[in-house]
Structure 1
Amino acid sequence: MTIFFYTKTDEYGDFSNFSKHGIEVDGLWWPTVEHFFQAQKFENVEYQEKIRTAFTPKQAAELGRSRKVPIRKDWEEVKDLIMYQAVLKKFKTHNRLAEILLSTGNQDIVENAPGDYYWGIGQNGTGLNKLGKILCSVRDQLRI
């Protein structure tokens, strides 16, 4: 069996980076993983703060997709690790979420994001599902 998630209202919607389960990193509170992840694209501290304080994760994502401020040169090399660390922090911070993730056993987890062929599976299911794979890796880490 495979677990699919995408929106916050799905059965496993708490797996979404838009879920309101914040994380603390380097003494700063980030309202969602999405806020944190999008801000890490930039070296500009003021712009990172603008993303951190965005009212919604959707607004944080929009700011993160903007190229009015240059992204860090190594972004493509570090983005998977940054996502893994943020997702791990989320599930270590929120015990109820960790219990839900662990309750999935060894089932595959898939972000059913129709527009995202990197983090999700895209519209036709051929995407890389990087976020789903990270969730499975985090689940393995939580078992240790």
Structure 2
Amino acid sequence: MPLFAHVNENAHFFSMNDAAHDWSRTSNHAFELEGVNWPSVEHYYQAMRFSDESYREQIRQADLKQAIKLGKAWFKKKRSDWKKVETVVMTRALYTKFKTHPELSDSLLATGEEKLIESSLYDHFWGCGRDQRGDNHYGQVLMNIRAKLRQEITPNTPE
């Protein structure tokens, strides 16, 4: 196997951290989840790392840069189940964002069956990594949301 994975020409590469990209977790697309208004997916994701409700609220009210900093604070105790639930947390936030903003759903659905790849060179969990052998969980989450949105538009009908 070559060092770098074969680049798929039918893939859509993007960055989950590019606030100008609509699918980004840092884009300025507010949504309501669990009875609370969140300024971005990143705010929700960072806040959910913690069980402390007051700290979650502090993250929610912060600007984006500060929310990220608070979410990565080493001195705050994170949820013990975080590694088990972080993908679910990201999925819930992104799905809610796409349902809240139909224009985002339309752009995601317009990709057809393209493979969606988060192009981070350094993140092998959420992205593809420099060698494109990363897990690409962010891309997988978006492809799962795309499939769910498509299913909601054209539900299976009995023949």
Q: TM-score scaled by structure 2?
A: 0.84
Show structure 1 runs of 4+ deviating over 2 A: none
Q: CA RMSD of the aligned region, Å? A: 1.1
Equivalent-residue separation in structure 2 for 1:59 and 1:116 (angstroms): 21
Which position in structure 2 is the counterpart of 1:96? 103
Equivalent-residue separation in structure 1 for 2:66 and 2:122 (angstroms): 17
Equivalent-residue separation in structure 1 for 2:46 and 2:127 (angstroms): 16
Gaps of 5+ in 1: none
Aligned length: 140
**Which structure's CA Rg is the greater one?**
2
Query: In the alignment, does 2:6 pair up with 1:2?
Result: no
Fraction of identical pairs, as percent: 39
* Deviation for aligned residue 1:67: 2.0
Residues 12-91 of structure 1: pairs in structure 2 closer than 5 A: 13-56=21-64, 58-91=65-98
Deviations 1:47-85, CA, capped at 9 Å, x for gaps: 1011101112x3222211112110011111111111111
Equivalent-residue separation in structure 1 for 2:104 and 2:128 (angstroms): 23
* Deviation for aligned residue 1:25: 1.1
Gaps of 5+ in 2: 1-9, 152-159
Equivalent-residue separation in structure 1 for 2:60 and 2:48 (angstroms): 10
* Deviation for aligned residue 1:113: 1.4
* Deviation for aligned residue 1:115: 2.4
Query: In the alignment, does 2:119 pair up with 1:108?
Result: no
Higher helix fraction (1 or 2): 1
Question: Alpha carbons of 1:59 and 1:126: their partners in 2 closer, same or farther (altered >3 Å)?
Answer: farther
SS of alignment partner, residue 14 of structure 1: coil
2:86 partner letter: K
1:136 partner letter: M
Equivalent-residue separation in structure 1 for 2:27 and 2:36 (angstroms): 18
